[in-house]
Structure 1
């Protein structure tokens, strides 16, 4: 792309200089006396194209230095730096007015700038040669004080043989690296084969692991049954405790039926005693009436109205007969009281029968609970017998736990072995790829050597020494 305008500001002796180069096919010449800034123009361009900076480039008294290169399509490349170095950047202004700010690029030129200018060092045999700009008095690049091999490499670069040499060297390096890698992989494969032979027992162990996994499943089932048995055993112990407490209560109240009979007899005795007390009171009332009647009779003896008194006496006589009958009944009651007293003497302590009666009702309720517990106890006894049979059947649960632990260990080993097997398969794949690559590059080297020989034969001259090509010597060398 052709440069349309160059603007240099505060660069050495230039305050602001604008240069418009001649069109394509014409020559632009800078003339003038010494120390007028002709060389500074080349230095300014080298600063833009190669990013070569020196503190003397800043004009004395200026705060910044700037070089702007404008191309024919309107693109501008600006290189600016402040005296303190705080501002040091490239800026690209595109034809549409957009801007791209580039900073922190070190000692190189950003790729975006090189793509616009088309200027970059040419790399030949690890050497960077700037062929676009030359200092004052500097010869063209092949005339510079460089070694003959370097010049030959430059010519080879121009003739296109440099790429073939680089490809051949790269192929040789790749072949050597591939062979070294192959040897390394062969050694590793031998070591891995030796390690694999150490694990010849794995198939047998895999079968053993499968058997152990089956045992593990059965052991887990056994563990679940064992947990259920332990839970049932705890329930059984709790029921045994409850049954023992119930038995104690039953033994404590085993005479409750006798107490009920005593309570019943005492109620009857109380009723008879109450009846006798009522009869005794009536007897005492009758005796008092007889005494009063006797006193009245004595008082009215010989008096007029004896007939009436006789009638009264007759009535009193009838009453006396009734009282005699009551007395006989009282005697019978006394005999009954004495019999009841004897019965009470035989049942000393029966005065607590009322309390016993209250407790008897509660005991009746408890007897119902005990009856239910007895039925439950029978069911539990049957369950215990059944669980005892199961416990005998699973007596080897301890061995199952040991097998379970061994199975876990074996499973961990199996995981490690699986990882080693995967790594071995990866190494086999890498070795196979390395062999394929080595075989490919061995064939490729032959093809490249033939192409190189044909190219030299077609040229007729050696690009290094400039001599004629000898077919016989060329076959010996290539």
Structure 2
């Protein structure tokens, strides 16, 4: 059995924000009059039974009201009302959440099934009564009701109402069946009187059977008539065909003479075809002879034509070679222009190498100065200690002399620091120029390799425009790599 574990009231009558926890068993709520004890029961009824109606129970000056009830099995029912919304919220023991709006006067079925808080019908008027909750001034169960209501309620509790309802329905059904029987008897008498007016139909049965026999005979005769019409049509067709065959027979009396003429025509047609074929062959032979004579006349100067063809072929080969050489020349010129542009960018390589050598010498000096700088830093640290010590003996002449020496050394130290900074800058410049030099060498190598590949593919020297062999190839590579 489940019970109410906790109730939370918000703006319900005198309760602004009230939380009450209950224990299993008997719970007693104590308080002064008008402190809100009855409002708790009214809030439970409003949340679980949708009673009372209206909004008079909303706290004065507020617009929203809500009652939240938590049950021992983990189910949560919350009823809330605002000026624009009237809603229920249900959280099942499994954690599933549901919201309801527009439910009318009845509590949603899902909430009733979870809480098992039903209204019960006590009498035949089918009015539903709340049995689980009674308010402060309500009397004991059924004692304030009329005797008829008490009897009906007790009968419903023990199940007697089912017998009463069954008897009531049996009596109602008996009355309705008797009324139906009377009505059917009246209809039966009326139908008997109507049947009397149709007694003449018996005489029509015999005439109807006769008419059916006549119709059957008419249908048989009409079938015979259709067959006769078909036979008549066939007879007419056959008669026409006979007349036509007679005409043909008369026309074909001289068929023997026609056959003789036909055989003569066939022989003559065969001779004509043979003669026409011979004539066509003769014409083709004449045409061929004419063409042969024309070609013989045109080929009288054949020897001179062969010499001209040979000279034309040699000239064609030369032309192809010249075209190939001109294309190679153009590509080589373009490559030379590109290489000249590249070489213009690298004319000062000797100067860069000299600068790099100078920078390397300066870096050696810088490393020496670095060592000096580290030693000077150590001297400075010791000098600071000396300064601190000499401040105690400012009036001593020897100390003043040492101080002058120290000042001169410190000025020299500043110069060394400046030189050190300049050397650091020179080292950075040296690193940048060395990286640029490496990139330039890589680019030159790649360009020279591409240029060598192009020359080898073309097979022509870019200097003398002769074909390349192994010796000339080595010579060209030497010049390309050294120049």
Q: TM-score, normalised by structure 1?
A: 0.41
TM (norm. structure 2) is: 0.41
